[in-house]
Every structure is written in C-alpha cells, then in structure tokens.
C-alpha cells in the first residue's frame, strides 16, 4: 500500500525558511513524478512545485525563485525548500506522487508564516 508522510511544517517569521520532507513507501519516487501542493481555508488546492523522474522541475509563479523541489532517490524522499517566506504562503502543504494509473496523497503538514 502506498503511503506518503510529510514533515517539516511549523511556524516561521516572514522572510524565514523551512524545509519540508515527504517520505514514500510502496512506490518508487525515482521512476515517477512528484509534487507539492498547498491549500488554505477557502481556497482550492494548488500546485506549488513538481519534479519528474528525469529531475525536470516546474514551479508556480508565486513561488518561483523562492522554493526549490528536490529528490533523494536513496532515501525515497522528496523535499521542498522554502525561502523568503511570505504570510500568503500559509497553508497546509501536501505531497503528491503520480504513477501512470493514479495519484497518491499524504496527510499534509501545516506551514504558518507570521508577519
């Protein structure tokens, strides 16, 4: 059974940094595509960053230049490094893995950025 576990969320001051981690089991990250999504109250879930099996990446315009997605194949872990955080980055962040059949989701980790 596929399981994704996120960690690294918390409270940070505007301008600060956090690094989120997503550890997968039951699925191999290196041969699939992964993404980080976020959802704030009253908002729809949106894609923040994604990485392919070939390590090609893409980012939402709102985070480009501030966030970096990466993957450690040996640890089967995907990371999201977040720098220069803004209050509007406050949301629950979810890890997603997509194979050729379906999407898999983690339970989410809360990120709160204070002004």
Summarised one tens digit per residue, pLDDT across range 65-83 is 999 999 999 999 999 999 9
**Per-residue model confidence as pLDDT tens digits over 7-40:** 999 999 999 999 999 999 999 999 999 999 999 9
Cα–Cα distance, 39 to 101 (Å, whole number)? 24
pLDDT of residue 6: 97
How open is the CA angle 33-60-39, to the nearest 5 degrees?
Answer: 85
Picking from 32, 62, 30, the residue whose alpha carbon sits closest to that of residue 46 is 62
Neighbour-count burial of 106, counting CB atoms closer than 10 A to its CB (0-12 exposed, 13-18 middle, 19+ buried): buried
pLDDT of residue 38: 98
């Amino acid at each position: 059974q596929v399981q994704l576990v996120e960690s690294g969320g918390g409270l940070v001051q505007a301008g600060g940094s956090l690094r989120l981690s997503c550890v997968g089991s039951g699925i191999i990250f290196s041969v699939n595509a992964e993404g980080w999504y976020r959802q704030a109250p009253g908002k729809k879930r949106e894609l923040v960053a994604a990485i392919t099996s070939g390590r090609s990446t893409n980012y939402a315009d709102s985070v480009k230049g501030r966030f970096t997605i990466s993957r450690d194949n040996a640890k089967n872990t995907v990371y999201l490094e977040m720098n220069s955080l803004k209050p509007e980055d406050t949301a629950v962040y979810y890890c997603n893995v997509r194979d050729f059949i379906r999407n898999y989701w983690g339970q989410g980790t809360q990120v709160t950025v204070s002004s």
